[in-house]
Amino acid sequence: MLEYPEMYTIAQQMKKCIIGKTIQSGELHKDNNNLFMSTDDADKYKLLYDGTITDVDFYAPDIFIRLDNGYGILICQCGGKFLYYQDIAKIPDNHTIHFAFTNGTGLSYTMKLWSLGIFAIKHEDWDQRKKANAERQFQPLNGTEKEFIDFIRKVSIEDPLASKIFLAKYVAGVMSSCAGAILLRACVHPSKKIDVLTEEEQHRIYTAMQSLLSEACEKGGRSSETDLFGVKGGCTTVTERKDIGKPCPNCGNILQKISVGGIMAYCPECQKNK
């Protein structure tokens, strides 16, 4: 699943290699039941044709590729792989969606898990989406610690979730893997409810979130995912299912299995449930 570090990395790479290129065509190449868009949505790719890319905007969890004709490509958070091709003819047949540029290069998306979709939308629709996202989710590398703590308190009144589920639901671009890693670094039990977090625990979660996501972005994402050129990220995962039984990066204790919004690894020594 592409999370904040990978979406950030891909957006930065897109800025370097597709700005100035003109859309020739776009196609939903292979439909899938886990792709939450329709053929009618894909038909709207025609609105993008002959538009030239002027900017790439990352506002977690989405990427918006802005064109000079009033439209753009909205890429929602997804489980899959984006790749840039110098030769559009070399895109393999198993891909899900592609966009071809007039100079023969192109972008492809191949779905692995699920996707909310890739859409052609107007600039003003993107502005409205950003505004809506800002109201319901916290931007992890943009907000201050006070804003984060105030956000926790606001959410906890109506939705006192376990800490891991809170991060995955209410922190933009963060899902299971990054949420688990943040809590391990913060030494907070993943099932601890956000309405009983101490001020010290809130501080540790914010600090861990800032440091972990910043480091992962600098390293091109997590080692379980790839960037726009098929290169794996340099940030090693620590709390995924495959990490169960490995040493805790904090204390060296053996990571154990727990199920909080899915199976994950946690440290019973660092993340005591108290």
Q: How far is CA 250 from CA 84, 90, 117, 185, 266, in A?
A: 37, 44, 38, 7, 11
Token pair listed for 9: 């990395």
Q: Which residue has the tokens 């439209």?
A: 71
What pLDDT score does 32 carry? 83
What pLDDT score does 115 carry? 87
What distance in Å separates the CA atoms of residue 165 and residue 22, rounded to the nearest whole number? 41
Q: Do residues 232 and 225 touch, judged by C-beta distance below 8 A?
A: yes
Q: Which domains does the chain show, CATH number per domain? A: 4-134 (3.20.190.10), 139-266 (1.10.8.50)
Token pair listed for 273: 């449930």
Q: Do residues 69 and 60 touch, judged by C-beta distance below 8 A?
A: no
pLDDT in tens, 92-142: 999 999 999 999 999 999 998 888 899 999 999 999 999 999 999 999 999
What pLDDT score does 95 carry? 95
Farthest CA pair distance, the chain = 59
What pLDDT score does 113 carry? 83
CB atoms within 10 A of CB 221: 25
What distance in Å separates the CA atoms of residue 206 and residue 213, rounded to the nearest whole number? 11
In sequence order, the β-bridge partners of residue 110 are 81
pLDDT in tens, 159-186: 999 999 999 999 999 999 999 999 999 9
Q: What share of the chain is helix, strand, coil (3-state, %, to 5)?
A: 35, 25, 35
What pLDDT score does 273 carry? 85
List per-residue pLDDT tens for the chain, 274 residues long. 899 999 999 999 999 999 999 999 999 999 888 889 989 999 999 999 999 999 999 999 999 999 999 999 999 988 899 999 999 999 999 999 999 999 999 999 999 888 889 999 999 999 999 999 999 999 999 999 999 999 999 999 999 999 999 999 999 999 999 999 999 999 999 999 999 999 999 999 999 999 999 999 999 999 999 999 999 999 999 999 999 999 999 999 999 999 999 999 999 999 998 7
What distance in Å separates the CA atoms of residue 186 and residue 42, rounded to the nearest whole number? 42
- According to DSSP, the β-strands at 106-115 and 97-101 are antiparallel
Q: Give the DSSP H/E element, type plus range, for residue 183.
A: helix 176-186
Q: Which residue has the tokens 């919004």?
A: 261
E strands within the chain? 23-28, 53-59, 62-67, 71-75, 78-85, 97-101, 106-115, 118-122, 256-259, 263-266
Q: Do residues 105 and 80 touch, judged by C-beta distance below 8 A?
A: no
